[in-house]
């Protein structure tokens, strides 16, 4: 039920970090993965690494906030590789600032990259999925969709919106045998979060809030991603799996 052999999966923002780990996890489960990022060099390096490990991987660079680029890229992907079976909307950024001082540009950039991109890429992918009457969409949300903290109002708003976009995808597309769900990571150790882990006071606070007593690893998200991309989740729609070591339910 968890075998992804014969499936093609596009993972946005997968040139590095969590996205690349998810792409590798799907490929190990049998999928042919399509790496996406903004820069060709980043995409090529990621694809080379996956292929070096004997995994099936292709690459395509496009800006996930640019509708025309998205359509051109996915058109090319479906012509040269295969129609999409699985979409992982992973692309995301941070631009931190106190809410009272946050610039409109930083607000819009995070909303566009973390939320609007999932709408744009998801909409284009769904058109093919609807025509084929099957598909899987997994949106990478965040613990911050429910538990914001200072300086990330733009990020929390985007991820909160992504949860409701996931539910809207379900309401409109479930009748076409498309399952749309989300994964909400907690504190995952990546290049982007490493400064937090290296701040002794902040790190101690974070570990004190996580019942599991540790930071998450990107690899901790693979199981949920494979599950939501596979036949094992064929009657699961509109859910968000929190992968946070229990932080969401702890006082």
Alpha-carbon separation of residue 134 from 7, 193, 201 (angstroms):
11, 36, 48
Sign of CA dihedral 124, 128, 131, 136: negative
| Residues with catalytic function | 155
Per-residue pLDDT of the chain (251 residues; tens, 9 = 90+): 999 999 999 999 999 999 999 999 999 999 999 999 999 999 999 999 999 999 999 999 999 999 999 999 999 999 999 999 999 999 999 999 999 999 999 999 999 999 999 999 999 999 999 999 999 999 999 999 999 999 999 999 999 999 999 999 999 999 999 999 999 999 999 988 999 999 999 999 999 999 999 999 999 999 999 999 999 999 999 999 999 999 999 98
| pTM for this entry | 0.97
Each domain of the chain, given as residue ranges in start order, spans: 8-244
DSSP string, 66-131: -HHHHHHHHHHHHHHT---SEEEE---------GGG--HHHHHHHHIIIIIHHHHHHHHHHHHHHH
> Regarding the domain delimited by 8-244, which CATH topology (the fold level of the hierarchy) does it fall under?
Rossmann fold (3.40.50)
pLDDT of residue 17: 95
* φ, ψ for residue 145, nearest 5 deg: -65, -25
Q: How far apart are CA 17 and CA 25, in angstroms?
A: 13
pLDDT of residue 192: 84
Q: How far apart are CA 242 and CA 220, in angstroms?
A: 11
pLDDT of residue 251: 80
């Amino acid at each position: 039920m968890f075998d992804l052999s014969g499936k093609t999966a596009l993972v946005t923002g997968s040139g590095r970090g969590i996205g690349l780990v998810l792409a590798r996890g799907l490929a190990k489960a049998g999928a042919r993965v399509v790496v996406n990022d903004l820069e060709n060099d980043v995409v090529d390096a990621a694809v080379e690494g996956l292929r070096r490990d004997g995994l099936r991987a292709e690459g395509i660079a496009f800006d996930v906030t640019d509708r025309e680029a998205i359509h051109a890229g996915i058109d090319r992907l479906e012509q040269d590789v295969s129609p999409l079976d699985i979409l992982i909307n992973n692309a995301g950024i941070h631009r931190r600032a106190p809410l009272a001082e946050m610039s409109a540009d930083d607000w819009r950039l995070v909303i566009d990259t973390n939320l609007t991109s999932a709408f744009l890429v998801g909409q284009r992918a769904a058109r093919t999925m609807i025509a084929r009457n099957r598909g899987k969409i997994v949106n990478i949300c965040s613990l911050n969709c429910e538990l914001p903290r200072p300086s990330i109002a733009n990020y929390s708003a985007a991820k909160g919106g992504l949860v409701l976009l996931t539910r809207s995808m379900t309401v409109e597309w479930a009748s076409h045998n498309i399952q749309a769900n989300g994964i909400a990571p907690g504190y995952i150790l990546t290049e982007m979060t490493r400064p937090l882990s290296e701040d002794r006071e902040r790190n101690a606070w974070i570990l004190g809030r996580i019942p599991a007593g540790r930071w998450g690893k990107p690899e901790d998200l693979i199981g949920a991603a494979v599950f939501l991309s596979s036949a094992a989740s064929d009657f699961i729609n509109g859910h968000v799996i929190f992968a946070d070591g229990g932080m969401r339910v702890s006082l």
